[in-house]
Structure 1
């Protein structure tokens, strides 16, 4: 099975901010932080983060977000549902960008809220549409199960405040 998308012809965020591997490391860090702040400003970011967590698409990096200065497109889901054979660190990169931006509290709260809007009905409809796929029922079951605990999974991607009573015991 192959997947494709329409070429939306706008640059990814790395291109948009002028990031290049040839830049000095300190300049790359500055540009990554600027791009993270830009991602934090997108209204769709919390929903994208929750959806990525639901389908276990942890590799949402700056090269997978397209932006033309107005519209944003979220692309590259090849690692979703553990489809990629290469092991990956269990880090939701979109959540890491939110932390880098300094907007983690706002985005975490909005992503938790967004997680409650993701419906198992949509998962069942996707399964029905994709029923010719290799294991659409298996994937649908995995995603439906993840939806039940999605708010907690999203919250776990962000640093927790220290518990003042933690050291007493």
Structure 2
């Protein structure tokens, strides 16, 4: 998964996260969606095409898993840079609890997968991505940054989310309606 180089910066005495500019447009700009009138047939068609495209990107299932892990509720077409070949996942300002009370608890990549009819294969790929994640990585990062910031609370929350990630991801997709699912 490509993510631009990241930086921790001091912003008026507060620690802030920033990323480098990659120099290529976001998916919404690239597909011309910003120029269309919301609700028009052209807009709806372009949005459907964008959902199909974003879900076909090789790193999209891993990005959905990462978004779920960090509670990033604001993944949208403007937060994916794409030059026609390579994607980069940006804008995590609403992650790690920063969207609580501001945004509904959703994983927008999972919503896009469901809307583009690839939900089942996408969910399987997201689960596979989660199973391959190193559960010790958050603690290792925190230990490297201990002199810069107190990350105990976000790392504890992230570790808890990783432990239950399979169920969290599955709940983002429609469940089968069969005799065993009825109580």
Instruction: Give TM-score, length-normalised by structure 2.
Output: 0.85
* Residues 51 and 113 in structure 2, CA contact (< 8 A), matched pair in contact too: yes
Segments of structure 2 that go 5 or more residues without pairing to the other structure are 1-14
Runs of 4+ off more than 6 Å: none
Contact in 1 for aligned 2:73/2:99 (Cα 8 Å): no
Q: Is this contact kept in 2: 1:51–1:118, CA < 8 A?
A: no
Q: CA deviation at 1:165?
A: 4.7
Change in Cα spacing, 1:143 to 1:16, as seen in structure 2 (3 Å) is same
Where does residue 163 of structure 2 map in the other structure? 148
Q: Which has the higher contact order (CA 8 A, sep 6+)?
A: 1
CA distance in structure 1 between the aligned counterparts of 2:88 and 2:52, rounded to whole angstroms: 17
The CA distance in 1 between the partners of 2:145 and 2:49, in whole Å, is 38
Q: CA deviation at 1:21?
A: 5.9
- Bigger strand fraction: 2
RMSD over aligned Cα atoms:
1.7
Q: CA deviation at 1:5?
A: 1.2
| Counterpart residue number, 2:87 | 72
Query: 1:149 & 1:101 partners in 2: Cα distance?
Result: 26
After superposition, residues 11-160 of structure 1 pair within 5 angstroms as 11-20=25-34, 22-23=36-37, 25=39, 26-84=41-99, 86-131=101-146, 132-133=148-149, 135-160=150-175
Task: Give the distance between the partners of 2:52 and 2:145, measured in 1 at CA.
Answer: 36
Aligned residues: 167
Q: For the residues of structure 2 that align with 1:21 and 1:128, how far apart are their CA atoms?
A: 45
> What secondary structure sits across from 2:103 in the alignment?
coil
Structure with the bigger percentage of helix: 1
* 19-28 or 145-154, which deviates more: 19-28
**The residue matched to 1:4 in structure 2 has which SS?**
strand
Match of 2:34, SS state, is coil
Report how far residue 164 of structure 1 moved. 3.0
